[in-house]
Amino acid sequence: MDFRSDNTHGASPEIAAALAAANTGTETSYGDDTVTKRLEARFAEIFEHDVAVFPVITGTAANALALAVMTPPFGAVYCHAEAHILVDECGAPEFYAGGARLVPVDGADGKIAAADLAAALDAAGAGDVHRVQPAALSLAQLTECGTAYRVDEVAALAEVARGHGLRVHMDGARFANALVGLGCTPADVTWRAGVDILSFGATKNGAWAAEAVVVFAPALAAEMAYRRKRAGHLVSKMRFVSAQLEAYLTDELWLRNAAHANAMAQRLAQGLGAVPGAGLVHPVDGNQLFVRLPGATIEALIADGFMFYRWPETVAGSTVIRLVTAFDTGEADIAAFVDAATRHGEAAA
């Protein structure tokens, strides 16, 4: 029973089937195939907006490409202090953007507060030749704490950003989970709230390896194709990436998968509520839980064979673990984990 990450899981049967189905005949390579050509219209329909769509195979590539067209090399990208782009991508945004800088802004539950962003930007030295120049804001949906920015929060942050001349990027590695958690439309939490480019993730929610850079601001799309090719992310047999995305968007598979994972997370949260010594560290808005547990309970769960990651923070003297549910996490797995945690917790209490 594996709660380590949603990317330890495989692919949805529907996506596997689509991949197999795409393996017939020959197709023009490098994205001029029939599957890829259908994608842009499908995304436009879902997002209620004209979009340029660039499929890639990792979220890191999607994020780094998006940021590279938003910032000059002497620019700064503002993000949360725990953001994936800052902490977990080995400097990919700096690489793609020619040495631009990521500037951390701290905030509770993985979210930046609009006032904190405003304060950081006011002190940034815009127009001062000695300072890197504020160029973009990057928000994650879900955040690294498993929380989702509400529509009004995104809008307030984007307004601050635009007021200072910044572009807005959304890292949607778990966009479907956030959307289901928020209960809003894709448009509401992206371009309508001021987002210029979305890294639209599918891999963690049931694809093999498929993400899409979705560009709402036409001016930012012009360079993207060249930058993607130059980064080695223009897949020659592109139909096999696009087929994953098409299946993901068909019959609302993306929303169904996310809804299941989120429901499992809620069930887990509820079950752990009764475990002695356990407590949620952050609100659960999607499919990630951050839970503090007594050390003995954690050890016992590991001995039982449950898989999860310890987090590098301590809350109120307790170790924090991260639990991630996925599109195919079984109800039995949830029940087994809760039972075991309860049993070990009571033994320790």
**String marking each residue 87-116 x if it binds a copy of itself according to CB under 8 A:** xxxxxx-xxxxxxxxx--------------
Q: How many residues bind a copy of itself (CB under 8 A)?
A: 75
Here the tokens at position 279 are 């407590």
237 binds a copy of itself (CB under 8 A): yes
Contact 41, 346 (CB under 8 A): no
Q: Toward a copy of itself, which CB reaches closer, 116 or 188?
A: 116
Question: Could you tell me the smallest distance in angstroms from the CB atom of residue 144 to a copy of itself?
Answer: 12
Residue among 64 and 157 whose Cβ is closer to a copy of itself? 64
Smallest gap from Cβ 168 to a copy of itself, in A, equals 21
Give the number of other Cβ atoms within 10 Å of residue 304's Cβ: 15
Grouping H, G, I as helix, E, B as strand and the rest as coil, residue 90 is: coil
Dihedral sign, Cα of residue 179, residue 183, residue 185, residue 191: negative
**CB nearer a copy of itself, residue 183 or residue 232:** 232
Pick between residue 153 and residue 246 the one whose CB is nearest to a copy of itself.
246
Choosing from 18, 46, 53, 56, the residue that interacts with a copy of itself (CB under 8 A) is 56
**Residue 276 CB, nearest distance to a copy of itself (Å)?**
29
CA gap 327, 256 in Å, rounded: 8
CB of 274 to a copy of itself, least distance (A): 27
For a copy of itself, the closer of residues 5 and 266 by Cβ is 5
* Selected binder of a copy of itself within 14, 40, 72, 150 (CB under 8 A): 72
| DSSP symbol at 273 | T
Cα 277 to Cα 318: distance, rounded to the nearest angstrom = 9
- Neighbouring residues of 299: CB distance < 8 A, sequence distance ≥ 6: none
Q: Which of 80, 174, 233, 292 touches a copy of itself (CB under 8 A)?
A: 233
Shortest spacing between CB 130 and a copy of itself, in angstroms: 4
Binding of a copy of itself at residue 287 (CB under 8 A)? no
Among 66, 120, 132, 214, binds a copy of itself (CB under 8 A): 132
8 Å CB contact between 29 and 238:
yes
| Min CB(13)–a copy of itself separation in Å | 9
Residue 133 or 143 having the CB closest to a copy of itself: 133
Q: Which residues from 21-40 bind a copy of itself, rule CB under 8 A?
A: 22-30
* Strand, helix or coil for residue 314: strand
Report d(CA 310, CA 331) in Å as an integer. 23
Contact status: 332 vs a copy of itself (CB under 8 A): no
Q: Which of 41, 165, 229, 349 binds a copy of itself (CB under 8 A)?
A: 229
What is the end-to-end Cα distance of the chain in Å, rounded?
A: 25
Q: Cβ–Cβ contacts within 10 Å for residue 138, how many?
A: 29
Task: Select the residue interacting with a copy of itself from 138, 177, 203, 287 (CB under 8 A).
Answer: 203
Task: State how far the alpha carbon of 272 is from the alpha carbons of 14, 130, 266, 329, 345, in Å.
Answer: 32, 51, 10, 17, 10
Spatial distance between the Cα atoms of 322 and 197, rounded to a whole number of angstroms: 28
For residue 102, what is the enclosing H or E element? strand 101-105
